[in-house]
Amino acid sequence: MAAKPSIPKGTRDFSPVEMAKRNYIFNTIRDVYHLYGFQQIETPSMEMLSTLMGKYGDEGDKLLFKIQNSGDYFSGITDEELLSRNAAKLASKFCEKGLRYDLTVPFARYVVMHRDEITFPFKRYQIQPVWRADRPQKGRYREFYQCDADVVGSDSLLNEVELMQIVDTVFSRFNIRVCIKINNRKILSGIAEIIGESDKIVDITVAIDKLDKIGLDNVNAELKEKGISDEAIAKLQPIILLSGTNAEKLATLKNVLSASEVGLKGVEESEFILNTLETMGLKNEIELDLTLARGLNYYTGAIFEVKALDVQIGSITGGGRYDNLTGVFGMAGVSGVGISFGADRIFDVLNQLELYPKEAVNGTELLFINFGEKEAAYSMGILAKVRAANIRAEIFPDAAKMKKQMSYANAKNIPFVAIVGENEMNEGKVMLKNMETGEQNLVSADELIAIVKK
């Protein structure tokens, strides 16, 4: 007996109903991006490993899916290298390409390659899958979609403000209650500076970013493991656990970071973003959260993360400013800021909270029953009119038993069924059945369209 087929862990199939839900997510996000003047691009699923490596830190590099070279990938490799079983070294020889880890680094590569065709500031969005060789768990997948929006070629903090408005608008349209968390890498750099550990900024941010997941004691243990002194860790505690309103936190930080120029710059930027957003009447809460570090090396300014309030799940949107990302591709001085909606996690949240609008998941609205050749020919004429009126409709392809055709309509949750027999054809009409109420009416094609559309 043939083995039952399977798919790789951390990937998923999506049924027609699930795809309707996913398209509702993509279309909602796309519509809001258009509202704010963003234009769509796409980049290849695979990039050169030289493009991807070193952009996400050591942890990120380990999560890159590498693609084995075609042809004789053993050529040029010595027996000694093969026997060394050094996976990282062998992978660098076997693999020149990798699946993209996110959409931001490929976007930076795109900007550099197409700089002569782009009008700056360039506002682009991208909705495509990404891949990470992560350990699959609830809410964490190896293949998932990101829905990114980025602005490059502008230093203005109004970009950050608009991106937070986009986040607020999208989740308001989804009816998901969220908390938008904001921080600034300059604040974190300032903190590292005043505790005397400036050279350990990456270790500090990577550890702090895990506070929600592993707790304060484990974060402190990780900091100690990275060689950060007990004195520095002690100084860090009240800063990490800072509480109060956004204004109170900013006031405290101004005092704490008074000796750090970079830290005060981060406070100033955060204050501008938060104060401007306060006048915009956001529907969702926005919170300055010093434990937010976003463990990616390329962020240099404001950083964002969005948490759903009514579901236990990780971050469902994130992003930040990256002033020097295009510099690694030979194009210095291009500032960028962006956000990324995690479509797969949003899908799970909408499912758990049952927030999909009915019209988003409905497929076919009207099914014509097929009694035979003559009836089908008659139905096809009306079907053309119905579709011209933008009603999703189909005819059962075979002249099967009525029970089978009605079961098909029920299985697909089709709300209306059109029945055409000898009598209906003689009168030039259709018997329209409402599948929810069971009510039947003899109607003309125009009446049928009006009823179904209503």
Query: Residue 160: which of 7, 323, 290, 15 has the closest Cα?
Result: 323
User: CA-to-CA distance for 343 and 145, rounded, in angstroms?
Assistant: 6
User: CA-to-CA distance for 211 and 315, rounded, in angstroms?
Assistant: 13
Return the amino acid letter for 19: M
Residue 299 annotated as lining a ligand binding site: yes
Which string of DSSP letters, residue by residue, matches 156-173? -THHHHHHHHHHHHHHHH
Residue 150 annotated as lining a ligand binding site: yes
Residue 22 annotated as lining a ligand binding site: no
User: CA-to-CA distance for 100 and 42, rounded, in angstroms?
Assistant: 12
Return the amino acid letter for 60: G
Residue 364 annotated as lining a ligand binding site: no
Residue 128 annotated as lining a ligand binding site: no
* Cross-strand partners of 181: 287, 305
The answer to whether 441 and 432 have CB atoms below 8 angstroms apart is: yes
* Cross-strand partners of 443: 430
* Cross-strand partners of 394: 367
Residue 448 annotated as lining a ligand binding site: no
Burial of 298 (0-12, 13-18, 19+ CB in 10 A): buried
Sole residue written with tokens 């009816």? 175
Q: Is 317 left (phi over 0), alpha (psi -120 to 50) or beta?
A: beta
CB atoms within 10 A of CB 36: 15
Give the chain's largest Cα–Cα span: 93
User: CA-to-CA distance for 305 and 292, rounded, in angstroms?
Assistant: 8
Residue 72 annotated as lining a ligand binding site: no
CA-based R_g, the chain, Å: 28
Residue 15: alpha-carbon gap to chain centroid? 19
**356: its two tokens:** 């999909």
Annotated binding site for L-histidine: 102-104, 132, 146, 150, 294, 298-299
Annotated binding site: 102-104, 132, 146, 150, 294, 298-299
